[in-house]
Amino acid sequence: MFRPVTLPLWLFVLILAFAGVTFASHFLFPSVRWFLRRRMERAVERLNRRLAQPIRPFKLMARPDMIVRLAHDPKVAEAIAAEAAATGVPETVQLERVRRYAREIVPGFSATVYFGVAARAAKWLARLVYRVEVAPFHAIGDIGKEATVVFVMNHRSNMDYVLVTWLAADRSALSYAVGEWARVWPLSWLIRASGAYFIRRKSASPLYRRVLARYVQMATEEGVAQAVFPEGGLSLDGRVGRPKLGILSYIVAGHRPGGRDVVFVPVSLAYDRVIEDRVLTAAAASGERRFRASPGAILLFLGRQLRRVLTGRFQKFGTASVNLGEPLSLSDFLRQPQDDVTAALAEELMRRIAANVPVLPVPLTCAALGARRETDIGALTAEAARLAAALAGRGVRLELPGGDPARAVEAALAILTLRKVVRRDGARLTVPARDAALVEFYAAPVAQHLAAAAA
Tell me the pLDDT tens digit for each residue of 169-182. Answer: 777 788 888 876 66
CA distance 400 to 381: 13
**Three-state DSSP class for residue 244:** coil
| Closest by Cα among 294, 226, 231, 296 to 264 | 226
pLDDT per residue as tens digits for the range 214-240: 999 999 999 888 999 999 888 999 999
CA distance 358 to 321: 7
Mean pLDDT of 146-162: 90
For residue 360, what pLDDT is reported?
Answer: 96
Q: Which amino acid is at 347?
A: E
Q: Which of 16-25, 348-357, 426-435 has the lowest mean pLDDT?
A: 16-25
**Three-state DSSP class for residue 195:** coil
Q: Find the angle CA(372)-CA(376)-CA(382) to the nearest 5 degrees.
A: 90
| Closest by Cα among 57, 32, 33 to 45 | 57
Question: Residue 144's pLDDT band (boundaries 50, 70, 90)?
Answer: confident
Higher pLDDT, 360 or 191: 360
E strand spans, 72-218: 131-134, 148-153, 175-178, 197-198
- With residue 1 as reference, give the H or E element that holds it: none
For residue 412, what pLDDT is reported?
Answer: 95
- Domains of the chain (ranges plus CATH)? 103-275+317-355 (3.40.1130.10), 361-454 (1.10.10)
**Phi-psi sector, 402: left (phi>0), alpha (psi -120 to 50), beta:** left
DSSP 8-state assignment for residue 233: S
Q: Report cis status (omega within 30 of 0) of the bond before 136.
A: no
Q: Do the beta carbons of residue 175 and residue 107 sit within 8 Å?
A: yes
Task: For the chain, give the percent of residues with pLDDT over 90.
Answer: 46
> What is the rounded average pLDDT for all residues in the chain?
85
Q: Do the beta carbons of residue 444 and residue 401 sit within 8 Å?
A: no
End-to-end CA distance of the chain: 97
Count of beta carbons in the 10 Å neighbourhood of residue 260: 16
DSSP 8-state assignment for residue 325: -
Q: Which amino acid is at 74?
A: P
pLDDT per residue as tens digits for the range 283-327: 898 887 776 656 666 677 777 777 777 777 778 889 999 998 899
